[in-house]
Amino acid sequence: MIKMIFCLRRRAELSQAAFQAYWRDRHAPLVAEVAPLLRIRRYVQSHSFDDPQLAGPVAARGAIVPPYDGVAELYWDSIEDLTAVNDSKEAREAGRRLLEDERNFIDLSQSPLFWVRENHVI
């Protein structure tokens, strides 16, 4: 499998709660709807949260980059499955619908995505 990791930052005018509600309640159903067209095998949303009990590991690393509001993980069986969607007009339109919706709640210029292959350790 290959996986796309999408590190999300919300649009400036949205609270964290509004961002997460939109992502969970409006965007996720759209992803589920178009997943067969885009050959997406799995979609996972990880919503960030703060808890003072968990602040130590964050502080110990001294990161100067603000934390993300969440991380999306999308899985495909193969690169061929992922690139095959370009052959379908319906799949290309589905991809455009997702991107258009992402503009409603994600600061795309501050939200990098990248491709990975997992290396399971534990």
pLDDT of amino acid 62? 80
Enter the DSSP assignment of 41: -
Task: Provide mean pLDDT across the span 81-99.
Answer: 94
The answer, yes or no, to whether residue 63 has pLDDT greater than 80, is no
At 60, the pLDDT band (50, 70, 90 cuts) reads confident
Largest Cα span, the chain? 49
Whether 50 contacts 20, CB under 8 Å: no
Instruction: Confirm if 46 and 67 have CB atoms less than 8 A apart.
Output: no
Task: Look at residue 91 and give its three-state secondary structure.
Answer: helix
Q: State the average pLDDT for the chain.
A: 94
pLDDT for position 59: 78
Task: Kindly tell me the burial class for residue 38, based on how many C-beta atoms sit within 10 Å of its own C-beta (0-12, 13-18, 19 or more).
Answer: buried
Domain at 2-49+68-116, CATH from 3.30.70.3340, 3.10.20.30, 3.40.50.300, 3.30.70.100: 3.30.70.100
For residue 10, give the 3-state DSSP assignment. strand
Chain position carrying tokens 């589905």: 94
Mean pLDDT in residue range 64-75: 92
Identify the band that residue 113 occupies on the pLDDT scale cut at 50, 70 and 90: very high
